Structure 1
Amino acid sequence: MIVCLPDGLPSQALTAHQLDRHFGVSGNLQPRFWAVEARWLWQTRHLIAPRKGKPTYCAGGPVKLLELAGLRHAAGMGAGIRHQLWQHVVHGTPPARPWHVYQARHLAEPATYPLQRVEADFFGQPRVNAMRLHNAVSYGAAHLLVEELEMFQAGPLAYQHYSAATAVCADALLTADGHKLAPAGDALAHRVTYLEQASRYLDTVEAGQRLLAVAF
C-alpha cells in the first residue's frame, strides 16, 4: 500500500505501531521507491528508510525527492522483456482462464463446485502448467507470476503499462484525507480501474507531499 502522510507526522515515528495507530495499517516499511540522484546531502534525511546504492531505494519521502517517472519507465522496460519470455514459455498453449473466474463460480456454487475442483481446473490448464514448469527451473527475474496470467494475456503493451503503473501505485493507496483506493476484486478490469484512480491522484499531489510504501 502507498500511504500519503500528513504533514505533522515525523518520519522517525513511522514504526509498525505508529502505522497501525495513525492509519489502521498493520505492516512494515518497504523500500520501493527510487530517490532522485540530483539531491543535496541534507535532503537525504527527508527520505524514509533509505538504502545505500544506486539508485537509492527508500520506503518513501517527499514526491520531489522520488524518481517516480524513472521507476515507471524501468518497470515498463522490464515488463516488456518479461512478456517476451512469457510468450516463448507459453508458445503453442491455448489461452487460459484466470483464477478469479473459477473462484467466482466456487463462491456462487460452493456445494457443487468445491475448492478442490477449482484448484484442479485452474492448475490443469496447459498454459498455467507451462508457466509453472518454467518457474520450477527458473529463479529471480526469470520467474513468471501465475497471478499475472490475465495481465500477460492482455498483450505486451498492456502488460508494460500495467507494470509501470503498479510500480508506483502498488496494490492500494491511502490518500492524505484518509480515503482508501483499492481494486474491487482480483480481475484485471478491477485493477485497471484502481490504477487509473491512483495514478490520477498521485499526479495531482504537491511536490512536498510525502509518500510511504508499506508491505503486509
Structure 2
Amino acid sequence: MRVSGTTSTGTSRRLHLPTRTMATAVVCLPAGTPPDALAALATATLTARGQATTGVLPHFDTHTRRTGKLLDYWNGLTSGGPINLLDLHGMRTRAAVDAAAAWLLWQQVVAGTRPAQPFWAFADRSASDPHRYPLARAQADYLSQPRVLAMRAYNAMPGHAIPLPPSALEAFQAGYGTYVNLAWLAAVPGDGLAPQPGGWLTTRSQRLADVLDYLTTANARLTQVPRDAHLVALASPA
C-alpha cells in the first residue's frame, strides 16, 4: 500500500517513512463509458485527485467472451471493464490461496527466530531524533534482525516461486488468518481506489492497522458500485 499524507476522509496526518510505494490504482467509472474511453477517463480521474500514473495495468481476471467491452484483454487478464464481466470473486479466492501457501512457507523459513519489529518502528524513532538515530542506522537495525535476515536469505536463493517480502513482516507475524484475509481484501482495490463521484482512498502508512483500515473502507465502497459500472486499473510510478 502506498504511504499517504491523508486519510480516506482527507484529514492531514504525519507521514510515516514508506517501505514501498503504490503500484496499482483502481478507478471506478460510470456505466455506459465506452471501452475506448476507459483509459483516458481513468487517467484524468487520477490526475484530478493529484495522483500520477504511467498507464493501464492488467490487473483483473475475466472469463468472458465479450472482450470488446474490456480494456486491453490478454490471456484472461484485462486492465478494466464492466464489473459484471470481471472475475472479482476468483481474484480474491486465488489471492487467499496464494497467501495461505506463502504464510505456511514463511513459518518454516523463520522457525526458531524471535518476532521482529516492522520497519516503521525504526523509522519513527529516526524521525523523532534524526541526528542521534539517522535513517541509515534505522534501516541497518531493521534489516539485521534475525527474523528479517532469515527472510532475506530465503529470498536471495534463486528459483523460489513464492517470495517472502520483508515489507510484509507485520502482516506475516499477525498470524495465518490475518495474512490470508488481508490478501483477500487487497486483491481487487490494490494500493489505492478512486471511487465515484469523488475522493481518493489509500493507506495512511505501512502500519498494519492503517492498511487494514484502508482495505476495509475500499472493499465497502466497492460493494456499493453498480454491477454495470466500470473498474480500471492503472500503474503508478515507483
Query: What TM-score do the two structures reach when normalised by structure 1?
Result: 0.90
> 2:150: which partner in 1?
130
1:23 paired with 2:46, answer: yes
Relative distance call for 1:77 and 1:124 in structure 2 (3 A) is same
Q: Give the structure with the larger helix fraction.
A: 1
> 1:44: which partner in 2?
67
1:4 paired with 2:31, answer: no
Which letter maps to 2:96?
A: G
Indicate if the aligned counterparts of 2:29 and 2:42 stay in contact, CA closer than 8 A. Answer: no
Indicate if the aligned counterparts of 2:57 and 2:235 stay in contact, CA closer than 8 A. Answer: yes
Question: Within 5 A, what are the aligned runs for 1:97-176?
Answer: 97-139=117-159, 141-176=161-196
Question: Within 5 A, what are the aligned runs for 1:51-90?
Answer: 51-52=74-75, 56-90=76-110
Indicate if the aligned counterparts of 1:30 and 1:214 stay in contact, CA closer than 8 A. Answer: yes
Indicate if the aligned counterparts of 2:38 and 2:232 stay in contact, CA closer than 8 A. Answer: no
Indicate if the aligned counterparts of 1:19 and 1:26 stay in contact, CA closer than 8 A. Answer: no
Structure 1 outlier segments of 4+, above 6 Å? none
> 1:199: which partner in 2?
219
Identity among equivalent pairs (%): 36
SS at match of 1:26: coil
Task: Report the more deviating stretch, 175-184 or 138-147.
Answer: 138-147
1:13 aligns with one of 11, 22, 37: 37
Task: Report the more deviating stretch, 17-26 or 171-180.
Answer: 17-26
Indicate if the aligned counterparts of 1:102 and 1:122 stay in contact, CA closer than 8 A. Answer: yes
SS at match of 1:169: coil
Tell me the CA shift for residue 49 of structure 1: 1.1
Which letter maps to 1:2?
A: V
In structure 2, stretches of 5+ residues that fail to align are 1-24
1:55-81 CA distance string (max 9 Å, x none):
x11111111011111110111011101
> 1:178: which partner in 2?
198
> 2:4: which partner in 1?
none
How many residue pairs get aligned? The number is 208
Tell me the CA shift for residue 88 of structure 1: 0.3
1:34 paired with 2:57, answer: no
Tell me the CA shift for residue 7 of structure 1: 4.3
Query: What TM-score do the two structures reach when normalised by structure 2?
Result: 0.82
Superposed CA RMSD in Å reads 1.6
**Counterpart Cα distance in 1 of 2:218 and 2:45:** 21
In structure 1, stretches of 5+ residues that fail to align are none
Tell me the CA shift for residue 21 of structure 1: 3.5
**Counterpart Cα distance in 2 of 1:19 and 1:201:** 17
Task: Report the more deviating stretch, 152-161 or 132-141.
Answer: 132-141
